[in-house]
Structure 1
Amino acid sequence: MLFLFVVVTACFGFLVKGEPLSATESYDFAISSESQLSLLKLKETHVNNLQSYKKVLKKHLQKIRRAIKQSEELLKSTKTSTRNLIYGYKVLRHLHNDWPQYFRLLKKDLGLEQIAVSQKLLTQQPTSVDFEESMGAMHRLQTVYNLDSYAMTEGFIDAKDRNIKNWSADECLMLGLMYLFLKDYNQSENWLELALYHYDDNLSPEVLKIKLWNYPNLLESLVEANKGLGRYLEAKKYANELLSINPNHTYMLTQLPKLKHLQSNPIKLTKPKKVFQLQKEICSKRYRRKSGVLVCRYVDWTQFLKLAPLKMEELSMKPHISIFYGFLGQKDIEVLKNASRPKLQRVKHLSG
């Protein structure tokens, strides 16, 4: 349970009051397409730097291998030959001259230049607020538009293929933990099951060594989600699997008797409160005509428009809403976007 506490408090503070709890500033990576371009460039720089670091390590490894080969050949020749002054000299010279050089290889600090670059790049990394905003955006996107979790991981939104690479277990796990933190156990269980589905495909023991979570952490989360849904038998299954891996898991040893009791004496669960209802109404609203007076027509209010009238469709009179078709071409839109990018800034919340 400590794993869940650390992750949710570190990552999902924005969901307590709808605003980030961290005092760290944001680079607007989650809310600005312009900033996302710089994020992609940052990722590319990271990859190139790691490739350079790999070359340094590979070159050093070649020196180590040559040292091993040379030592093994000398050891083999001395074992098969008669001991005399000649071979004694070869061994003495090797140990006296070569091994100090080998020792320097072991002591050498590798990739200092690449490490310095990586250290500098850390100052440009997404902040905790950026990550909080990104998770909040994912939550609103799925909640407002009622998106299917599996379709999202496959890159499908509104039955359209967005050409998004399939998600990894890590990405599914984070959303599962977010919904678990919000006590939306149904969505949490969906995402955690997807994390379990992708676990064997995308992760290896070597990769897990550098991550903050492992397979038992995923099982622990699934226990909590299924317990919240009242699926106590399913929760027990994951609890027993976790205990088969770690028989001394203190938290799960205390949970198993509780799950058995809840299975025998189930409690009546209340449906979670719906959120973002206002946003859903606004974003999914279809402005239907309320009377027969609404029309589509061409407008020619100016001398220029008399030559090139605009097509206008009235959607509502109260409030007055109309659509003007073909007002801006794609080139015009790109010009406006490029002109506005340098002046874009985060909206400041008004106090009071």
Structure 2
Amino acid sequence: MRLLMKPEPEVRGSEAATRPLLIFITYTGIGDLLMALPLFDALRSQFKALPVIPSAYAELAELLHHDRLLDGYLLVDEGLVFLRQPLRHLLMCRAVSDLQADVVAIYGKLVMAYGTRLGLLRAGRVLYCHPRGMGPRSTSTFEHLPTTGNQMRDYLQFASRLGLSGNGARATFTEGLKAGLAQEAQALIPWPSYVTVAPWTSDPRRDASLRFFRECIDIIVHEGGLPVVLTGVAQYRKIAEDLLRGLPDTQAMSLVGSTTIRQMLGLLAGTRFLLTNDGGSLHMARLVGTPAIAAFGPTAPELRLHTFAEELMAIRQPLPCSPCEHTPARYKCPGPYLDCLRSLEAASARQALLLACRAVTERTV
């Protein structure tokens, strides 16, 4: 397990001339990193705050650093998805200890919390929070913070415990970078105005049915009069072909498995709006200032985001058990499995889709 610092750290000549080092560790998804951007802004005045980022997201991290949304970052050469790599969390404890951080803030990594209590992770101070309140009790150097019930506010708690304040304002790229990314992406698509659809997330338990997405695509194309660009990772290429079957090339195209993170951000910067689930694509759209219509089931925007009123339309099935992700009933469905997502109908999104299609403001550059 290696941690590679990017860019190179400041030369720490004297404590008065340099900020203390804070290392931030959260879940490994793109969305988890992007939701932490307001925290880094709050920390900047007093700390050099470096998030740990999987090397697969290095391109995104470089853009965030270039646009001054990150001071720097730590690339980890291997992922930290617990179900696939439980022991690597303990190896991460050792790697973080070697950096001799003044503060380490950990969100949700339960094994790392217990590793800290066992002395495997050493730092001047360790702050920990879990969205379901799980973890060991506090000690003189390990502080377990209670959850607020909202992931972004949980993050901001780290700043408040360090004597800093943050308002949770939405972080976005500068207009110049957004325009440049959108301009680059124009080479990928044949239309000046289009809608982006991202039907998949890294957690299938957050995905609405493909039937829902196909019906929504039909509404966008046939009633809204806009073509659709389908995006996703390479494993969904064949499914994407089936999802768009019957639609001519003049109305829909698939870029599934064909875009880098930079190109995906460019597509989102130039699109009219994004249709997706609660996942990384939604948070990337927020980063470039693009409106989104998103299906929610086990999760809810009010439990994840600090602000979302104008730029996000949430489509939800009003079931009494939803949302459940950070409760004892997590995915223990009282009825059909994930009925909150599987029973979603495109009719519930039709008005929002058509309003977004007919919006006067063009999102192309």
TM-score (structure 2 length as normaliser): 0.24
More strand per residue: 2
Higher relative contact order (CA 8 A, sep 6+): 2
Larger radius of gyration: 1
Q: Which has the higher helix share?
A: 1
Q: How high is the TM-score relative to the length of structure 1?
A: 0.24
